[in-house]
Each structure stands twice: as structure tokens, then as C-alpha cells.
């Protein structure tokens, strides 16, 4: 909700221009080879292209009034940089680190360093595939992992982050300031 002031007789003054300012912002990162989605290995990864997946995420984001920033890279360093940059201006991250899931301590360290609530998504169920895919280096530092639900996994991750972040914002806004709590107890 944009900043608003309640005047007398219940008149509420709002500033629509401030809507962007108050929106939740989530960065969505796709790792290596996900640009090939829909073109091969369709039995494992499905038929949806990355563009179509991004459109579905953008559509849900609009419904939830969330601003999403979607990026794909084949480079580990670029993904690390984008995770670090998310520290300023973003409320959460959704990431499918693709093959880097199973190899990258750098991506794990970046996620841990920024400390933003992050959801790890995999199109396939990595736990039912080859042994080397069972280990995720990022699983230990993320809020949760969604694997095996195809593109729907990203939409669930977005909804989940939205719900958690909205609830936590609401708690912050309604928390009684320490001073008035003390006053209420009559200790000042």
C-alpha cells in the first residue's frame, strides 16, 4: 500500500506515485544452459521456453504487485555478481543455479553473504536423478528448495516469498515501539 494519511472525517490522502516505492522486489536468476529450455531434453525439462517461463513469472508478479527482475547467465561469476547486487534494492531472490547447484561454493557464499530470503528452484527432481545431482551446495543457505514441479516451481517460489515478505512487513509495521511499550507498563 502506498503511503497515506487519514484526515478528519475518515478522508484518506494517498500518493499513487509512491506505489513503486512500496512494492516487493524479487530477483529471479536462471543458471547455465537454461536459455536452451524447450529446445531439447524436453522429457526432463519440458517444452516451455525460457521466454515463456519468464512471461508466466511476470504475469503472476503483476497479480501479486511484485516487481521482478529476471536474468539468465551461463557464467558463475555473473550470477555471483547479480546475487551480491541484489543486496541493495531487492527483498528476495529466486534462483535455479542449474549445474552450479552441484559445484558452486561461490554461489552458496554469495547467497549466505547477502542474507536475503532465497528460494532454490529446480525444474526436475534432482533427488531422483544421477547421484551427482543429489547434492546441492546452496540448499544449506536458502529458505527452501522446490524441485520436480517444472515451471510451476518458480510460481510457487514467487507466491511463497511474496506471502512471507508481506507477513514480515506487516509485523514490522504493527510492532509496538519499545518506548510506548515501556510507557504502557508505567516504567518511565
Q: Is 99 one of the binding residues for ligand CA2 (CB under 6 A)? A: yes
Q: By C-alpha distance, which of 113, 135, 120 is closest to 28? A: 120
Which of 123, 155, 157, 161 is the binder for ligand CA2 (CB under 6 A)? 123
Least Å from the CB of residue 8 to ligand CA2: 56
Is 45 an active-site residue?
A: yes
Which of 4, 18, 22, 36 is the binder for ligand CA2 (CB under 6 A)? 36
Q: Is 45 one of the binding residues for ligand CA2 (CB under 6 A)? A: yes
- Residues 145-184 vs ligand CA2: string with x where CB under 6 A? ----------------------------------------
Pair 84, 112: CB distance under 8 Å: no
Q: Is 133 one of the binding residues for ligand CA2 (CB under 6 A)? A: yes
Q: By C-alpha distance, which of 25, 154, 21 is closest to 86? A: 25
Q: Is 52 one of the binding residues for ligand CA2 (CB under 6 A)? A: no
Residue 16: phi and psi, rounded to 5, are -55, -30
Q: Which of 45, 90, 137, 154 is an active site residue?
A: 45
Looking only at Cα atoms, what is the longest distance across the chain?
69
Q: Is 122 one of the binding residues for ligand CA2 (CB under 6 A)? A: yes
| DSSP letter string, 123-160 | SS-GGGS-GGGT--SSGGGSSEEEESSTTHHHHHHHHH
Q: Which of 30, 122, 137, 162 is an active site residue?
A: 122
Pair 141, 111: CB distance under 8 Å: yes
Other CB atoms within a 10 A radius of the CB of residue 82 amount to 18
Is 122 an active-site residue?
A: yes
Q: Which positions touch ligand CA2 (CB under 6 A)?
A: 33-34, 36-37, 39-41, 45, 96, 98-99, 101, 122-124, 126, 133
Q: Point out the residues that are catalytic.
A: 45, 122
Amino acid at each position: 500500500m502506498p503511503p497515506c494519511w487519514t484526515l478528519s472525517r475518515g478522508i484518506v490522502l494517498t500518493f499513487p506515485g509512491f506505489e513503486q516505492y512500496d512494492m516487493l522486489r524479487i530477483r529471479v536468476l536462471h543458471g547455465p544452459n537454461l536459455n536452451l529450455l524447450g529446445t531439447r531434453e524436453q522429457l526432463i525439462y519440458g517444452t516451455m521456453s525460457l521466454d515463456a517461463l519468464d512471461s508466466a513469472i511476470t504475469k503472476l508478479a503483476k497479480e501479486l504487485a511484485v516487481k521482478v527482475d529476471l536474468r539468465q547467465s551461463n557464467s558463475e561469476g555473473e550470477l555471483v555478481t547479480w546475487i551480491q547486487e541484489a543486496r541493495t534494492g531487492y527483498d528476495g531472490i529466486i534462483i535455479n543455479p542449474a549445474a552450479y547447484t552441484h559445484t558452486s561454493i561461490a554461489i552458496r557464499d554469495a547467497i549466505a553473504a547477502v542474507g536475503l530470503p532465497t528460494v532454490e528452484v529446480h525444474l526436475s527432481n534432482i533427488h531422483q536423478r544421477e547421484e551427482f545431482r543429489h547434492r546441492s551446495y546452496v540448499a544449506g543457505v536458502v529458505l527452501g528448495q522446490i524441485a520436480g514441479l517444472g515451471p510451476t516451481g518458480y510460481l510457487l517460489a514467487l507466491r511463497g516469498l511474496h506471502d512471507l515478505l508481506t507477513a514480515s512487513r506487516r509485523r514490522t509495521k504493527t510492532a509496538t515501539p519499545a518506548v510506548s511499550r515501556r510507557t504502557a507498563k508505567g516504567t518511565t
